[in-house]
Amino acid sequence: MQNDYTQMWTDLGLDLQAHDQLLEVLGQGYEQVFMSQANRPEGMAYFDFVMSEVHGLRIKELMDAKAEGRKVVGSFCVFVPEEIVLAVDGILVGLCTGADFATEEVDKILPRNTCALIKSAFGFKLGKVCPYLESADLIVGENTCDGKKKSYETLAGLVPALYVMDLPQTKSLRARELMQAEMKRFFHKMEEISGVTIDAARLKKGIQLVTEKRKALHRLNELRKNDPAPISGLDALLINQVQFYDDPVRFTASLNKLCDELETRVAEGKGAFAKGTPRVMVSGCPMAVPNWKLPMIIESTGAVIVGEESCVGERGTRNLVSDGEESLDELMEALVDRYFKIDCAIFTPNPERLDHVKEMTGRYNAQGVIHYSLQFCQPYQTESIPLEKSLENEKIKTLRLETDYSQEDIEQLRTRVEAFVEMIA
């Protein structure tokens, strides 16, 4: 990093030695995974810069915003409505997961067979290496899976301000009423911590900012339908990851500029990979920074990832808040409707997700689906079996993989992915 943020990190209480080691490993991994790619669009330079300053300049921006009285809210999940945070001039940021850290310390307070994502979040906290976590005025958890639900009881003793949203597990009328009640409760919580009263104009502005960001991501997804694919799956994943950290207005403008370039590449027949490269869709658990292992393996074996059915992907962004509502009550109802459509594997039954995977496979002209599950993630692991059977019945080739954040199984994964790519080519 160009600037010295040592004092800022010290003030946040980070373990400087451990944090330096994390940044070194992250930088080396980024260089190997992303900067070694051929035929990258020039517009990716912005996202490379964001990643180079993800613990530096962006954290300084958060601290400057806090000094102005704005609130920083950290979350782990796409069910937390950014629109409401923006309505009080707050900032919503994703919290650190995606890598193993302080594993021995985590094993002292969580079962060893806990989901890798949950253990990672605790590791970043116990290891004192996540400036997003330490700079947040409020940390929002959500009762999605049982693992998160119970782990928040422990996390509450480790952080100064934890707020937990209760979420429905079905798509019934009563379940929607719970979602509605929880949205209203979060609405009032944001008013309480910010001292700002949310009116219709404020909420509408927040909705418009997030909608524009999601539309830019939709535009990117549309361009990925082309053959040759104008951008790699790795770079598309990076863009989806950056949206959880970056300023939404700046992110949207930068992504639209990149899409302008990608449209030119499509018109000229230029791609990140050669025309006819086997096309793969990835489905399943979210991939947070720096979880790039599986996409790196897939695209180094001669395939291109053309879509992600994931919270860090289309599942988290595809639905928009309906347009045209004006009153505060109408806007809140539209917000509830939008978030209630998310087809996370926590819901039962969950036929919408299966339909979505099939629809995406056709829309992106994917020749196969790789279903990715984190070890001990019960919702996605359990749902992967009937999903695989249903896809195979539709003659859609499918590969189920389970892994974690370690590097130990790379060669095993590579062998299985190589065989799958050869089969679909």
| Pick from 400, 413, 404, 412: nearest CA to 115 | 404
* Tokens 């930088």 found at: 27
- Give yes or no for a contact between 348 and 378, defined as CB atoms under 8 angstroms apart: no
CB 141, CB 119: distance < 8 Å: no
- Which residues of the chain carry a pLDDT beneath 70? 1-2
Residues 127 and 23: their CA atoms lie apart, in Å, by 13
Asked whether the beta carbons of 396 and 369 are under 8 A apart, the reply is yes
Token reading at 124: 């970043």
Residue type, 18: A
| In a domain? residue 197 | yes
Burial class (CB in 10 A: 0-12, 13-18, 19+), 153: exposed
What pLDDT score does 2 carry? 53
Q: Which 3 state secondary structure label does DSSP give 139?
A: strand
Per-residue CA distances from 5 to 16, 53, 125, 126 (Å):
11, 10, 19, 21
Residue 1 lies in a domain: no
In a domain, 309, yes or no: yes
> Does 163 map to a domain?
yes
| Angstrom distances, CA of residue 359 to CA of 9, 205, 284, 307, 354 | 45, 32, 15, 11, 9
Q: pTM (2 decimals)? A: 0.97
What is the extent of the structural domain holding 251?
6-424
Structurally, how many domains does the chain consist of? 1
- Could you report the per-residue pLDDT of 404-419, keeping only the tens digit for each? 999 999 999 999 999 9
| Contact between residue 98 and residue 33 where contact means Cβ atoms under 8 Å apart | no
d(CA 125, CA 102): 9
Number of alpha carbons in the 13 Å side-chain half-sphere of residue 299: 26
CA distance 388 to 404: 20
Contacts of 319 (CB under 8 A, 6+ apart): 338, 341, 342
Separation of alpha carbons 148 and 167, rounded Å: 12
